[in-house]
């Protein structure tokens, strides 16, 4: 089978197409014939060597959608021919930029007939991330204000739609007026340019000065100060990337705020959340935006694009 691999860390050019033997699923694994996989920001960090613990050569890709080709002997819920999608795969799971990928059964769910392979791949990782942030970590409630930093990004575009479906008042940021407009089209009540010098005031005003109840932050190093400023009393900040910078004179205690880190890699049982994501997609509450599609030979280009940003939604790789 054809796979994308890198044999050494480096820039996007280290990605190449190789031939490998088709893998055999372990007893608790499903072998998926991959029809689409998406590019996640973290893929480029593993490739460059910024994140360690990668055994080389490595196949990138942490999500996929496709058709079950074979199942391990202990797998009960899937059979050859099923349409499926999978997300939240770690580097130990083997990578999905391959014609076939073995995936633990607990990270796979059935893909509704009405949802395309591209859309399933696009929303599996980021849909699970948004669900875990809002439902499991923040306990977002209807009518609350929530702020999604980078509402046009992969996670952001899923979070804007999920927050809207949950009945929250969604505010978001993006990198230009045009991207803000697109984020409002996804359901955000208001969207702001993240470079605005009056960002905090604009956000406060949009909440009628009540403050933001839930904040989904993907650049805590840059935005913790702003988060603490715009947070409402008892506000919850869920962070998916970045450390805690030195912030002085904070309203952390006075507002009784919670800052909570999360990582999808910590949840081994992803199937129940994927099933919820599937239901949201089937109902039309969560719709993937596919910004661009690439074939295996163009994976380097896709890695450059994910690092550059400036688009809405997800980049898709086709075998
Ligand atoms: N902890 C977890 O479980 C988890 C799960 C998934 C993802 N993540 C991490 O979360 C981050 C986002 O992932 P993703 O897949 O959504 O990435 P992505 O698709 O590349 O989106 C990145 C977003 O960040 C925005 N951005 C860029 N510069 C910004 C700035 N100065 N201020 C505010 N926003 C800015 C981008 O806007 P422009 O396009 O306008 O530049 C875009 O909206 C990544 O670091 C990823 O590794 C963590």
Partners of 169 in the beta sheet?
A: 145
pLDDT at site 92: 67
Ligand 1 site residues, Cβ closer than 6 angstroms: 40-42, 126, 129, 149-150, 152-156, 173-175, 179, 194, 218-219, 222, 240-241, 262-264, 306, 309-310
- Which residues does 264 contact at the CB level (< 8 Å), separation at least 6? 87, 88, 125, 128, 129, 132, 270
- Contact (Cβ atoms closer than 8 angstroms) between residue 40 and residue 62: yes
126-264 falls under which CATH superfamily?
A: NAD(P)-binding Rossmann-like Domain (3.40.50.720)
The per-residue DSSP string of 209-271 comes to: TS-EEEEEES-HHHHHHHHHHHEEEEEEEEESS-------S--TTTTT-EEEE--GGG-S--H
* Probe residue for ligand 1, chosen from 51, 121, 150 as the CB with the greatest number of ligand atoms within 8 Å: 150
Percent of the chain with pLDDT over 70: 99
Return the residue matching tokens 């613990």.
Answer: 53
What is the rounded average pLDDT for all residues in the chain?
Answer: 96
Mean pLDDT, rounded, for 83-112:
91
Average pLDDT over residues 34-39: 98
Residue 68 above 70 pLDDT? yes
Over residues 214-258, the pLDDT tens digits come to: 999 999 999 999 999 999 999 999 999 999 988 887 899 999 999
293: part of which helix (H) or strand (E)? strand 290-295
Q: Please tell me the distance from the alpha carbon of residue 33 to that of residue 10, in angstroms, as a whole number.
A: 28
165, 285 in Cβ contact below 8 A?
Answer: yes
CATH superfamily ID and name for 2-111+289-318: Medium-chain alcohol dehydrogenases, catalytic domain (3.90.180.10)
Q: List Cα–Cα distances, 274 to 22, 109, 129, 132, 307, in angstroms.
A: 26, 6, 10, 11, 26
What is residue 172's predicted lDDT score, i.e. its pLDDT?
Answer: 98
For residue 91, pLDDT over 70 is answered with: no
**SS3 of 89, please?**
coil
Q: Where are the domains of the chain?
A: 2-111+289-318, 126-264
């Amino acid at each position: 089978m054809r796979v994308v691999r890198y044999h050494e860390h480096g820039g996007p050019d280290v990605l190449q197409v190789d031939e490998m033997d088709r893998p055999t699923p372990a007893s608790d694994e499903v072998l998926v014939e991959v029809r689409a996989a998406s590019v996640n920001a973290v893929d480029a960090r593993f490739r460059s060597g910024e994140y360690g613990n990668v055994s080389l050569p490595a196949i990138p890709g942490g999500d996929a959608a496709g058709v079950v080709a074979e199942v391990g002997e202990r797998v009960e819920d899937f059979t050859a021919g099923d349409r499926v999608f999978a997300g939240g795969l770690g580097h130990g799971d083997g990578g999905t930029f391959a014609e076939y990928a073995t995936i633990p059964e607990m990270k796979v769910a059935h893909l509704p007939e009405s949802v395309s392979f591209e859309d399933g791949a696009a929303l599996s990782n980021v849909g699970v991330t948004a669900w875990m942030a809002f439902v499991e970590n923040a306990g977002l409630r209807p009518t609350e204000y929530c702020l999604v930093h980078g509402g046009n990004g992969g996670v952001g575009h899923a979070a804007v739609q999920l927050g809207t479906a949950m009945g929250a008042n969604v505010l978001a940021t993006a990198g230009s007026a045009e991207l803000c407009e697109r984020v409002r089209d996804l359901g955000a009540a208001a969207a702001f340019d993240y470079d605005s010098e009056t960002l905090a005031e604009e956000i406060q005003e949009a909440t009628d000065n009540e403050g933001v109840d839930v904040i989904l932050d993907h650049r805590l190093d840059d935005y913790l100060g702003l988060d603490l400023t715009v947070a409402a009393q008892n506000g919850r900040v869920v962070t998916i990337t970045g450390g805690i910078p030195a912030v002085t004179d904070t309203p952390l205690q006075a507002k009784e705020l919670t800052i909570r880190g999360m990582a999808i890699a910590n949840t081994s049982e992803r199937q129940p959340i994927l099933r919820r994501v599937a239901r949201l997609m089937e109902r039309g509450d969560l719709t993937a935006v596919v910004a661009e599609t690439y074939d295996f030979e163009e994976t380097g280009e896709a890695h450059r694009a994910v690092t550059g940003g400036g688009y809405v939604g997800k980049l898709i790789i086709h075998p």
